[in-house]
Amino acid sequence: MLAGKHILLIIGGGIAAFKSLDLIRRLRERGAVVTPVLTRAGEEFVTPLSVSALAGNKVFRDLFDLGDEAEMGHIQLSRIADLVVVAPATADLMAKMAQGLANDLASTLLLATDTPVLMAPAMNVRMWEHSATQRNLGTLKSDGISVVGPNDGDMACGEFGPGRMSEPLEIVAEIEGRLADGPLKGKRVLVTSGPTHEPIDPVRYIANRSSGAQGTAIGRALSALGADVVFVTGPADVAPPDGVQVIKVQTAQEMLEAVNGALPVDAAVFAAAVADWRVSSASDRKLKKSNDGLPVLTFAENPDILKTVSQMKKGRPGLVVGFAAETNDVIDNATAKRERKGCDWIVANDVSTGTGIMGGSENAVTLITADGSEDWPRMGKDAVAAKLAARITEALG
């Protein structure tokens, strides 16, 4: 139910705008208060009168409307809601949002808001697949904007493919999910994920086989429980979770900087596979073959992010969870690691060849705490994430 929740609904100019009328009805049926904003292009598809009549509320349209400004300034309008929903989010609106343009009421509200934003894209399939739109989508996701759809199917323009706006009830379900007061509401949690890339020269680097799948699943599971997640990720194979703040880094040193910048947090989960060493002799020019023999790489130790945060005198997160990817004597090594690093829990797993865990979809972990160790059966990485998120919820009480 959405009783008493306030939705600021921005309706962009696309044929899917007709579905937004039904979306308004569905939201109001569930007790939500809807304040509609209609773009100029949106008015070509649905009338201000129908939007306003269905919303039972004034429809806002102009940035420079003195009457509206006197009644409720656009900054205030951007802050009143529990959630801002953009449906349909056209290619043009997405581009404006990604660039931070503010040349009409809708884009100004989106730039001024400090409220979470959910968008439901809708456009022609070629426009959706265009690299510009996909680039904007990536930017918007990194900015923490949640996305629902688009769906595949026949389009009003006669083509077929992804680009249809999600159905009103799908959007409602997503809104309910975002507004649900999960048990971690109000808690800020940091998650690191993915590998790091340590440069050898401008084109070569040292990496590892981490896909980022487990860290991403943990970020998603914590966010689903209502946590405010800061997700610091190296160059992973999988896309970061929706609706979280994403900070992308390459190296261990950059990861430490991003982690420091994200503190204070209530809990931190260090699932990233951070390189222990970086190449201290990294060259700013591409190394060339030469008759003088093979290049010699020298190494320097990387900062240990988990240890640094675990041993902070001031501002240490209430709960610090580390990972231990081991290939032998998993429990003994991981138990020793927990002590050495000073973290509260270690999630240990056996990544030796043949387990298929590193880069795979399943994980078999042992949770090591001050009270001892607990083997979890082999399960999907999403299930491990859900179980860990539930334990973190208990611990944060």
# residues contacting ligand C5P (CB under 6 A): 13
| Choices 3-11, 36-44, 114-122, 316-324 (CB under 6 A): range interacting with ligand C5P | 316-324
- End-to-end CA distance of the chain: give it in Å, rounded: 25
Q: Which of 59, 120, 229, 252 binds ligand C5P (CB under 6 A)?
A: 252
157 catalytically annotated: yes
Q: With binding defined as CB under 6 A, does residue 306 bind ligand C5P?
A: yes
Site string for ligand C5P, 274-293 (x = CB under 6 A): x-x-----------------
| Choices 32-40, 42-50, 288-296, 318-326 (CB under 6 A): range interacting with ligand C5P | 318-326
The number of residues in the chain equals: 397
Q: Are 232 and 247 in contact (CB under 8 A)?
A: yes
Q: With binding defined as CB under 6 A, does residue 322 bind ligand C5P?
A: yes
Question: Biggest alpha carbon distance in the chain?
Answer: 80
Q: With binding defined as CB under 6 A, does residue 109 bind ligand C5P?
A: no
Q: Which of 46, 148, 324, 384 binds ligand C5P (CB under 6 A)?
A: 324
> Which are the contacts of 180, defined by CB distance < 8 A and separation ≥ 6?
226
DSSP for 287-338 reads ----TT------EEEPP-HHHHHHT-SSS--SEEEEEEEESSSHHHHHHHHH
Cα-Cα-Cα-Cα dihedral of 235, 241, 245, 247, to 10°? 0
Q: With binding defined as CB under 6 A, does residue 344 bind ligand C5P?
A: no
Nearer to ligand C5P, 39 or 214 (CB): 214
Least Cβ distance, residue 324 to ligand C5P (angstroms): 5
Least Cβ distance, residue 304 to ligand C5P (angstroms): 4
Q: Are 11 and 37 in contact (CB under 8 A)?
A: yes
CA distance 252 to 196: 6
- Which DSSP helix (H) or strand (E) runs through 162? strand 160-164
> Which are the contacts of 112, defined by CB distance < 8 A and separation ≥ 6?
74, 75, 78, 79, 102
CA distance 351 to 298: 27
Q: With binding defined as CB under 6 A, does residue 249 bind ligand C5P?
A: no
Q: With binding defined as CB under 6 A, does residue 247 bind ligand C5P?
A: no
Site for ligand C5P in 156-215 (CB under 6 A): 192
Least Cβ distance, residue 276 to ligand C5P (angstroms): 6
- Pick the catalytic residue from 72, 75, 132, 157: 157
Given the rule CB under 6 A, which residues bind ligand C5P? Answer: 192, 252, 270, 272, 274, 276, 302, 304-306, 322-324
